[in-house]
Structure 1
Amino acid sequence: MIVGLLLLVIAVFIFLWDRWRLNVFIGVPITAREHFSYQHRPTLFIHGYHGNRYSFGHLLHRLWQANIAETVARVKIYQDGSYTVVGSLGDIAQAQNPCIQVLFQQATASVLQQSDWLQHLTHDLFKKGVASVNLVGHSMGAVTAAVYCARYADQPDLPKVKRVVTIAGPFNDFELGKDTKKIFSYPLTKKGPEKVTPIYVYLRTHLQKLQEPIHFLNIVGNILPTTHVQHDGSVSADSGLALGFILAPTQHLYKQAVIRGANAAHSLLHENSLVDLNIIDFLWLTPLKEA
């Protein structure tokens, strides 16, 4: 009983310490390093289904520790589009590679609804003088980022979307949020998926209408299961890689990275060092030709 109580106390201490740690670095400046590109364009991080501050919190903390990017704010968006801020959106213009962690109060809402809420935030950023943004999304948040681009990237009163990182996105699934017992997959052929779902059709139809090209990096996990369908434990590799076929007929620029092994599991991808490196290279190390 004493051992159990001690373990409980230790677990509570670790939880509270981690919660505190993910708060105190917000708004703390970084020191620029050689060989990295530093700018004032904010990058918005969007969690997936049932996501929370831990979804991207540790990744953002690692970026800050490495003096690569600084988190200026954590924004919690409510169902009416209003939001509260930990940190300050006013620090964007002075920050080096500023990051904003976006949290939805209703973390299970549809991607259309989440893209609407995201638009409320980006409109306010535009009014604060933010001309362009990057987006990073995990799982359902990756689809939300793509849907946001399809609906709002050409709007004149919103920041231009320059670069998008999608991680473990179900781009050819019927169920975009909660897991199902069987991992859904329409196999890919050389010409694309054997069959397509409504979200695939929606993105393919609307992303090609955008006037300005967006740079996409699509990160897909594959835990190398022994099953016929390759997957990350939640999303099939074919569904994730379907984004490449969605973007193929468009003017957008597309890159992909497949992360393999046990650490490529769906909920571990944003804790994977290879994912960190791919994001860093794509957003802040590669010369920004579109800037």
Structure 2
Amino acid sequence: MRKGRFWASLLSFILVIVCGVGFVYRAQAARHYVNSTTPTFFIHGWGSSYHAEQHMANAAKRAGVTKTIIWANIAKDGQVTFHGHIKQGARNPIIEVNLADNKQMSYKKDGEYVFKVISAAKKKWGFSTMNLVGHSMGNLGIMYMLRDYPNSSQLPTLKKQVSIAGHFNGGIGFGYPKGSRIDQSGKPSVEEEHFTELKDLRKTYPTTARVLNLYGDLQDGSHSDSEIPVNSAKSLKYLVAQRAKSYQEKEFFGKRAQHSKLHSNRQVDRVLIDFLWGK
């Protein structure tokens, strides 16, 4: 009997410790991160899927930012299906977007897909504000959506946008004007066609949005992350900085700054989390 009481007491003690640690952890997270119902949409790159977004989303969950991560599929015909549910009042929910038509090269079409997902989420849950995170081609989908649906009542108000490895003036092997330079405003000396199309955003980009531009340099002499030249990524400044509520950039270096590794880079996670949800 004494032995049974000992193990029962030990188990109760362990449970108290675990609950206490959990309480302290939640309290620390509450002090460090905002308590908001604003959803954050993650948009993946070309040929990829929502799985590429999971590392960043799970890093936010581990940090105590949120307990709610769902994913949304947008079919080739534009039909949106949500996998998971967002409870009323859920704290800092994350929606990972999956583009079924992930290898077509029409950025305008990508913009339509992103619009359909976000407008469907607003209709379903009534969101009034949103954050957007894009990697690679996902950034172009975001930018074309913002260009083609300015001030749409079907979209929540944009609070924060994070660009990761965005090819706003083309990429290596797909449009980047070799030898193009940028001035202090971010304007390229030679413009790729999609950059020219996005210049409408200089008049319509949401003035409510704070923007963070993240990009990589392998430091191997290419001045790129293997796919996106640094100057192409930095040209985002010219498109949005004069209207955005704030604009900032951060460059990452070395092997972990390679294009496809940026969305699974712990340094990127930390900067991303602090920008989107830090108090």
Which is greater in Rg?
A: 2
Q: Work out the CA distance in 2 between the residues paired with 1:182 and 1:194.
A: 14
* Overall identity of the aligned pairs, in %: 27
Question: Counterpart in 2 of 1:202?
Answer: 197
Listed as ranges, the gaps of 5+ residues in structure 2 are 1-24
Question: Counterpart in 2 of 1:144?
Answer: 141
Residue 66 and residue 201 in structure 1: after superposition, are their counterparts in 2 closer, same or farther (change >3 A)? same
Map 1:160-171 → 2, pairs under 5 A:
160-171=157-168
Question: Counterpart in 2 of 1:265?
Answer: 258
Aligned residues: 249
Residue 249 and residue 150 in structure 1: after superposition, are their counterparts in 2 closer, same or farther (change >3 A)? same
- Bigger mean CA offset, 120-129 vs 163-172: 120-129
Alignment partner of 1:120 out of 116, 120, 143:
116
Q: Secondary structure at the match of 2:127?
A: coil
Q: Work out the CA distance in 1 between the residues paired with 2:120 and 2:176.
A: 39
1:150 touches 1:207 (CA, 8 Å); kept in 2? no
Alignment partner of 2:127 out of 105, 127, 130:
130
Q: Structure 1 residue 217: deviation in Å?
A: 0.6
Query: 1:1-26 deviations in whole A, cap 9, x for unaligned?
Result: xxxxxxxxxxxxxxxxxxxxxxxxxx
Query: 1:208-232 deviations in whole A, cap 9, x for unaligned?
Result: 22464321111011111124xx000
Map 1:1-291 → 2, pairs under 5 A:
31=26, 33=29, 34-88=31-85, 90-91=86-87, 93-109=88-104, 110-127=106-123, 128-173=125-170, 180=173, 185=178, 186-190=180-184, 192-210=187-205, 212-227=207-222, 230-286=223-279
Query: 1:176-202 deviations in whole A, cap 9, x for unaligned?
Result: xxx639975422233521111222122
Residue 197 and residue 69 in structure 1: after superposition, are their counterparts in 2 closer, same or farther (change >3 A)? same
Q: Secondary structure at the match of 1:136?
A: strand
Residue 272 and residue 72 in structure 1: after superposition, are their counterparts in 2 closer, same or farther (change >3 A)? closer
Q: Under a length normalisation based on structure 1, what TM-score does the superposition of the two structures give?
A: 0.79
Residue 284 and residue 248 in structure 1: after superposition, are their counterparts in 2 closer, same or farther (change >3 A)? closer
Residue 164 and residue 267 in structure 1: after superposition, are their counterparts in 2 closer, same or farther (change >3 A)? same
2:176 touches 2:192 (CA, 8 Å); kept in 1? no
In structure 2, give the amino acid aligned to 1:197: E
Q: Work out the CA distance in 2 between the residues paired with 1:165 and 1:211.
A: 14
